[in-house]
Amino acid sequence: MAPNDEFIREVDEEYRRDQLAQIWQRYNGIIIGIVVLIVASVGGWRYWQHHQETRAQAAALRYEEALRLSSEDKGQEAQSAFEALAKEDGGNGYAMLARFRLAAELGQQNAENGASAFDALANDASVPALWKDLARLRAAWLRLDTAEPARIRQALEPLAAPSNAWRHSARELLGLSGLKAGDMDYAGRWFDQIAADRETPATLRQRLAVYTALVAGGPVQATQ
């Protein structure tokens, strides 16, 4: 390297060092504050993540314990456990799972009480649309034996649309409502939709053979 080039490089480096020193002297407080803020933010985020993971793990254990109580036919204890978990708002999803399971537990004791609990979920603005539809489906299932067919159909027909995730179950319940009411044309229409849907689950197709046979047999006549 030529002497002049070396001299220019050294002068340039010295100038940059002077500039950095001046910047540091003028703004060192701000720079330190920014660094501290970044470190604190990263630490806070890590702590929040750890806190959320810990809460989710605790909620999962409590949910599993409530399921165990339910499987052991300890209905009252299971209900209390699900109620306690449902009141929490940890953002981990277990509170909503507990609300659905609590509604199912209530439905085992009293169909209308369970259906009303599912109605509350379906009307809750904080519940995602997909799960609102599931709540409507579960409520209709619990009311299948007691409610007027018109009420069942009003709740289920929107869920039977081709784009709905719960359409298969909704169509099955609509067909069953027709069978129970002796309306074979209505039942057959929904069973035909089940048969035509290429995504119908295999287990439902197996039940469909029974349903179509019942439709073909016509309404059952009561005998004295």
Task: Name residues whose C-beta falls within 8 Å of residue 148's C-beta, 6 or more positions apart in sequence.
Answer: none
Question: How many of the other CB atoms lie within 10 Å of CB of 11?
Answer: 10
Confidence of residue 126 (pLDDT cuts 50, 70, 90): confident
Does residue 45 form part of some domain? no
Query: Residue 134: pLDDT above 80?
Result: yes
Q: Does residue 165 sit in the same domain as residue 188? A: yes
Q: Does residue 179 sit in the same domain as residue 121? A: no
Does residue 170 form part of some domain? yes
Does residue 155 form part of some domain? yes
Does residue 6 form part of some domain? no
Question: Which domain-ending residue is among 143, 170, 194?
Answer: 143
pLDDT value for 99: 86
Q: Does residue 161 sit in the same domain as residue 214? A: yes
Task: Name residues whose C-beta falls within 8 Å of residue 160's C-beta, 6 or more positions apart in sequence.
Answer: 167, 170, 171, 174, 190, 193
Does residue 182 form part of some domain? yes
Q: Does residue 159 sit in the same domain as residue 132? A: no
Q: Rounded to 5 degrees, what are φ and ψ at 33?
A: -60, -40
pLDDT value for 143: 93
Confidence of residue 112 (pLDDT cuts 50, 70, 90): very high
Query: Residue 138: pLDDT above 80?
Result: yes
Does residue 20 form part of some domain? no
| pLDDT tens digits along 50-93 | 545 666 666 667 767 666 766 667 667 777 777 777 777 555 57
Does residue 100 form part of some domain? yes
pLDDT value for 224: 41
Q: Which pairs with CB-CB distance under 8 Å and at least 24 residues apart come from 149-156?
A: 149/177, 149/178, 149/180, 149/181, 149/183, 152/177, 153/177
Q: Does residue 88 sit in the same domain as residue 134? A: yes
Task: List the domain range (segments joined by +) for residue 92.
Answer: 73-143
Q: Does residue 173 sit in the same domain as residue 213? A: yes
Q: Does residue 168 sit in the same domain as residue 137? A: no
Confidence of residue 94 (pLDDT cuts 50, 70, 90): confident
- The helix/strand/coil state of 89 is coil
Q: Does residue 131 sit in the same domain as residue 154? A: no
pTM metric for this prediction:
0.67
pLDDT value for 204: 93
Confidence of residue 222 (pLDDT cuts 50, 70, 90): very low
What is the rounded distance in angstroms from the CA atom of residue 24 to the CA atom of residue 40?
Answer: 22
Does residue 21 form part of some domain? no
Query: Residue 24: pLDDT above 90?
Result: no
Query: Residue 7: pLDDT above 50?
Result: no
Q: Does residue 131 sit in the same domain as residue 178? A: no
pLDDT value for 46: 66
Q: Does residue 202 sit in the same domain as residue 157? A: yes
Question: Which domain-ending residue is among 92, 115, 143?
Answer: 143
Q: Buried b / exposed e across 21-59, counting CB within 10 Å, b at 16+?
A: eeeeeeeeeeeeeeeeeeeeeeeeeeeeeeeeeeeeeeb
Question: Which domain-ending residue is among 143, 164, 192?
Answer: 143
- Provide the domain count of the chain: 2
Task: Name residues whose C-beta falls within 8 Å of residue 189's C-beta, 6 or more positions apart in sequence.
Answer: 178
| Nearest of 173, 166, 165 to residue 191 by alpha carbon | 173
Query: Residue 15: pLDDT above 60?
Result: no
